[in-house]
């Protein structure tokens, strides 16, 4: 008697509550956002930021991130939405699936920049605080792909092969029913969770600030994404022989390396505060100037605003899909 191992896919992807349909994909994203907010808030607090100030920033970052994610998905899958007789309103039907992580990074970066301008938090301080939290949120979000039976990899005979319904819209033609596929959602979940630990450890070991943790995030996620993307079988736009998301991942790696190199040369000391000059929080009788010891070199070099603005633009130019 042989024992067959595999990962079964869920039979349902939503629940009905009266007239409302609650999609598990949306719940996974929501849980990821909440988890990321808690982690980012704790990291900002350790830098001297006002408790809960992350909410003022994500009120801008999350909506613009969702808009960016949807826009990028639609633009990178034009054949799904723009054809003779197409219902263009479907471009807005986000509940049907289709959001792009790289697009979310672009929109979210714009929203975060706006939120930081309004709260006085340094954009690069927030970027470093949120970097590990982004990986955490993405790990939760990938379980949404699991419930939707989407974004799976090529066929495999490995014991952790993923079961997919043969009626799935992305089922490759010619494959027999019962074929197992690489669970790329699980690979990315593991990679992202490992990345959370790696980024935090490297940050503490080398006292990384001034956007350098963000640079590490882009490199880490980009490296993993190039691998998972190369074995996915779902339809995708291809440029010069590579899926659009592989190009996006490679671009993310380059931007991450550029951030590390440039910021290591421009800023050799630690940030003086989580706030831009003149916007410091003084909530308990003590300001949040530098909380470091006298032996620390506090880097107060300029230009502050010009630097952060240019790097925000660079970060916002990462392109592509979920």
pLDDT tens column, 55-111: 999 999 999 999 999 999 898 888 888 889 888 888 888 777 688 889 999 999 999
| Per-residue pLDDT at 320 exceeds 60 | no
pLDDT value at residue 90: 86
Average pLDDT over residues 296-309: 56
Average pLDDT over residues 137-159: 94
pLDDT value at residue 315: 42
| Per-residue pLDDT at 149 exceeds 80 | yes
| Per-residue pLDDT at 308 exceeds 60 | no
| Per-residue pLDDT at 310 exceeds 60 | no
What values do phi and psi take at 2, rounded to 5?
-90, 145
Model confidence pLDDT, tens digit, residues 216-235: 999 999 999 999 999 998 87
What is the pTM for the complete model shown? 0.86
pLDDT value at residue 313: 43
Average pLDDT over residues 271-296: 66
CA angle at residue 135 from 244 to 28, to 5 degrees? 90
Average pLDDT over residues 129-150: 95
Of 253, 183, 200, the closest CA to residue 225 belongs to 253
Residue 50 burial (CB count, 10 A)? 21
Location of structure tokens 């990986």: 135
Residue 190 burial (CB count, 10 A)? 14
What values do phi and psi take at 121, rounded to 5?
-75, 140
Model confidence pLDDT, tens digit, residues 113-129: 999 999 999 999 999 99
Average pLDDT over residues 161-165: 95
* Region of residue 174 (left: phi > 0; alpha: psi -120 to 50; beta: else): left
Three-class DSSP category at 259: helix
pLDDT value at residue 290: 44
How high does pLDDT run on average in the chain?
Answer: 87
pLDDT band at 312 (very low <50, low <70, confident <90, very high): very low
DSSP, residue by residue, 224-256: HHHHHHHTB-S---EETTEEHHHHHHHHHHHHH
- Six-digit token pair at 319? 């392109």
Q: Is the peptide bond before 240 cis (omega within 30 degrees of 0)?
A: no
Average pLDDT over residues 194-208: 97
Q: Secondary structure of 49-98 in the HEC alphabet?
A: CCCCHHHHHHHHHHHHHHHHHHHHHHHHCHHHHCCCCCCHHHHHCHHHCC
Model confidence pLDDT, tens digit, residues 28-65: 999 999 999 999 999 999 999 999 999 999 999 999 99
* Cα 91 from Cα 96, distance rounded (Å): 10
15-29, 221-235, 286-300, range with the lowest pLDDT = 286-300
- Six-digit token pair at 284? 């308990």
Greater pLDDT, 253 or 269: 253
DSSP, residue by residue, 117-159: HHHTB-HHHHHHHHHHHHHHHHHHHHHHHHHHT-S-BSB--ST
């Amino acid at each position: 008697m042989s024992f067959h191992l595999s990962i079964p896919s869920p039979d349902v992807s939503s629940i009905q509550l009266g007239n409302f349909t609650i999609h598990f994909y949306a719940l996974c994203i929501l849980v990821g956002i909440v988890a990321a907010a808690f982690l980012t808030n704790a990291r900002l607090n350790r830098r001297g930021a006002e408790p809960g100030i992350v909410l003022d920033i994500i009120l801008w970052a999350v909506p613009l991130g969702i808009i960016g994610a949807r826009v990028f998905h639609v633009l990178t899958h034009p054949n799904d939405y723009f054809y003779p007789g197409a219902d263009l309103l479907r471009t807005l039907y986000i509940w049907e699936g289709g959001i792009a992580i790289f697009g979310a990074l672009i929109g979210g970066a714009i929203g975060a920049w706006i939120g930081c301008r309004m709260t006085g938090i340094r954009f690069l301080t927030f970027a470093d605080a949120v970097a590990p939290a982004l990986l955490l949120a993405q790990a939760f979000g990938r379980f949404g792909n699991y419930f939707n039976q989407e974004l799976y990899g090529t066929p495999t005979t490995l014991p952790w092969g993923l079961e997919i319904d043969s009626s799935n819209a992305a089922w490759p033609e010619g494959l027999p029913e019962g074929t197992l596929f690489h669970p790329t959602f699980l690979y990315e979940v593991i990679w992202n969770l490992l990345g959370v630990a790696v980024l935090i450890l490297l940050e503490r070991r080398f006292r990384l600030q001034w956007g350098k943790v963000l640079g590490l995030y882009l490199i880490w996620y980009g490296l993993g994404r190039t691998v998972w993307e190369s074995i996915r079988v779902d339809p995708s736009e291809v440029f010069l022989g590579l899926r659009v998301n592989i190009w996006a991942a490679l671009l993310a790696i380059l931007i991450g390396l550029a951030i590390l190199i440039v910021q290591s040369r421009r800023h050799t000391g630690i940030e003086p505060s989580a706030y831009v000059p003149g916007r410091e929080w003084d909530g308990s009788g003590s300001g949040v100037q530098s909380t470091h010891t006298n032996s620390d070199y506090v880097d107060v070099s300029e230009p502050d605003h010009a630097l952060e603005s240019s790097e925000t633009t660079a970060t916002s130019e990462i392109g592509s899909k979920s």
